Amino acid sequence: QVQLVESGGGVVQPGRSLRLSCAASGFTFSRSGMHWVRQAPGKGLEWLAFIAYDGTNKKYAESAKGRFTISRDNSKNTLDVQMNSLTTDDTAVYYCARVKSGTYWGIDYWGQGTRVTVSS
Protein backbone atom coordinates (compact mmCIF):
# COMPACT_ATOMS: atom_id res chain seq x y z
CA GLN A 1 0.00 0.00 0.00
CA VAL A 2 1.06 3.58 -0.55
CA GLN A 3 3.02 5.00 2.35
CA LEU A 4 4.46 8.45 2.78
CA VAL A 5 6.44 9.09 5.94
CA GLU A 6 7.71 12.57 6.74
CA SER A 7 10.62 13.27 9.05
CA GLY A 8 12.93 16.08 10.03
CA GLY A 9 10.56 18.30 11.95
CA GLY A 10 11.37 19.87 15.28
CA VAL A 11 12.01 23.15 17.04
CA VAL A 12 14.23 25.64 15.26
CA GLN A 13 15.18 29.24 15.95
CA PRO A 14 14.07 32.05 13.65
CA GLY A 15 16.51 32.61 10.82
CA ARG A 16 17.77 29.05 10.88
CA SER A 17 17.28 26.28 8.34
CA LEU A 18 15.61 22.89 8.39
CA ARG A 19 15.38 20.06 5.90
CA LEU A 20 12.31 17.84 5.82
CA SER A 21 12.17 14.46 4.14
CA CYS A 22 9.41 12.20 2.92
CA ALA A 23 10.08 8.50 2.44
CA ALA A 24 7.82 6.89 -0.14
CA SER A 25 6.93 3.24 -0.53
CA GLY A 26 4.25 1.00 -2.01
CA PHE A 27 4.26 2.62 -5.44
CA THR A 28 6.62 3.58 -8.25
CA PHE A 29 7.91 6.83 -6.81
CA SER A 30 9.82 7.80 -9.95
CA ARG A 31 6.53 8.02 -11.89
CA SER A 32 4.72 10.34 -9.47
CA GLY A 33 4.75 14.08 -9.04
CA MET A 34 4.81 15.17 -5.42
CA HIS A 35 3.68 18.12 -3.31
CA TRP A 36 4.46 19.69 0.03
CA VAL A 37 1.48 21.18 1.90
CA ARG A 38 1.49 22.74 5.34
CA GLN A 39 -1.00 23.63 8.03
CA ALA A 40 -0.34 26.26 10.67
CA PRO A 41 -1.84 25.63 14.11
CA GLY A 42 -5.62 26.06 13.99
CA LYS A 43 -5.52 27.14 10.34
CA GLY A 44 -6.36 25.67 6.96
CA LEU A 45 -4.23 23.90 4.40
CA GLU A 46 -1.62 25.79 2.40
CA TRP A 47 0.03 24.36 -0.70
CA LEU A 48 3.79 25.03 -0.74
CA ALA A 49 5.57 23.29 -3.58
CA PHE A 50 5.34 20.75 -6.38
CA ILE A 51 7.97 18.68 -8.15
CA ALA A 52 7.41 16.64 -11.30
CA TYR A 53 8.11 12.91 -11.39
CA ASP A 54 11.59 13.46 -12.84
CA GLY A 55 12.45 16.63 -10.96
CA THR A 56 12.52 18.78 -14.08
CA ASN A 57 9.54 20.96 -13.19
CA LYS A 58 9.15 22.70 -9.84
CA LYS A 59 6.55 25.16 -8.65
CA TYR A 60 6.38 27.18 -5.44
CA ALA A 61 3.89 29.19 -3.46
CA GLU A 62 4.80 32.84 -3.04
CA SER A 63 5.45 32.17 0.66
CA ALA A 64 8.08 29.57 -0.27
CA LYS A 65 9.79 31.21 -3.22
CA GLY A 66 13.42 32.05 -2.59
CA ARG A 67 13.50 30.33 0.80
CA PHE A 68 12.31 26.77 0.20
CA THR A 69 13.72 24.28 -2.28
CA ILE A 70 11.91 21.07 -3.18
CA SER A 71 13.95 18.14 -4.45
CA ARG A 72 13.75 14.39 -4.89
CA ASP A 73 15.99 11.36 -5.16
CA ASN A 74 14.26 8.71 -7.24
CA SER A 75 17.02 6.20 -6.49
CA LYS A 76 16.16 6.45 -2.78
CA ASN A 77 12.41 7.09 -3.10
CA THR A 78 12.68 10.27 -1.09
CA LEU A 79 11.26 13.77 -1.37
CA ASP A 80 12.85 16.69 0.46
CA VAL A 81 12.22 20.31 1.15
CA GLN A 82 15.05 22.57 2.29
CA MET A 83 13.68 25.49 4.29
CA ASN A 84 15.90 28.51 4.93
CA SER A 85 15.46 31.79 6.78
CA LEU A 86 12.63 30.37 8.83
CA THR A 87 10.25 32.70 10.63
CA THR A 88 7.57 32.10 13.24
CA ASP A 89 5.03 32.13 10.38
CA ASP A 90 6.56 28.86 9.16
CA THR A 91 5.40 27.06 12.28
CA ALA A 92 3.13 24.33 10.96
CA VAL A 93 2.63 20.66 10.29
CA TYR A 94 4.20 19.81 6.95
CA TYR A 95 2.72 17.11 4.75
CA CYS A 96 4.03 15.45 1.64
CA ALA A 97 1.41 14.29 -0.83
CA ARG A 98 1.37 12.24 -3.98
CA VAL A 99 -0.01 13.38 -7.30
CA LYS A 100 -2.75 11.09 -8.52
CA SER A 101 -1.88 9.57 -11.86
CA GLY A 102 -3.75 11.16 -14.72
CA THR A 103 -4.84 14.29 -12.81
CA TYR A 104 -1.94 16.60 -13.64
CA TRP A 105 -1.51 17.89 -10.09
CA GLY A 106 -4.33 16.37 -8.05
CA ILE A 107 -3.55 14.67 -4.73
CA ASP A 108 -4.54 11.16 -3.73
CA TYR A 109 -2.31 10.17 -0.79
CA TRP A 110 -0.95 12.17 2.13
CA GLY A 111 1.75 11.47 4.67
CA GLN A 112 1.02 11.75 8.39
CA GLY A 113 2.90 15.05 8.65
CA THR A 114 5.90 16.36 10.57
CA ARG A 115 5.65 19.30 12.96
CA VAL A 116 7.92 22.31 12.65
CA THR A 117 8.03 24.92 15.39
CA VAL A 118 10.00 28.09 14.78
CA SER A 119 10.67 29.75 18.10
CA SER A 120 13.46 31.47 19.96
What is the binding site for other proteins (CB under 8 A)? 35, 37, 44-47, 50, 59-62, 95, 100, 103-113
Sheet (strand 18-25) strand order? 3-7, 18-25, 78-83, 68-73
Query: Residue 71 Cβ, how far from other proteins at the closest point, in Å?
Result: 18
Query: Residue 61 Cβ, how far from other proteins at the closest point, in Å?
Result: 5
Secondary structure letter of residue 114 according to DSSP: E
Residues 26/48, Cβ–Cβ less than 8 Å? no
Residue closer to other proteins by CB (options 13, 102) is 102
Three-class SS state of 89: helix
Residue closer to other proteins by CB (options 62, 75) is 62
Residue closer to other proteins by CB (options 54, 108) is 108
Query: Residue 23 Cβ, how far from other proteins at the closest point, in Å?
Result: 15
Three-class SS state of 17: coil
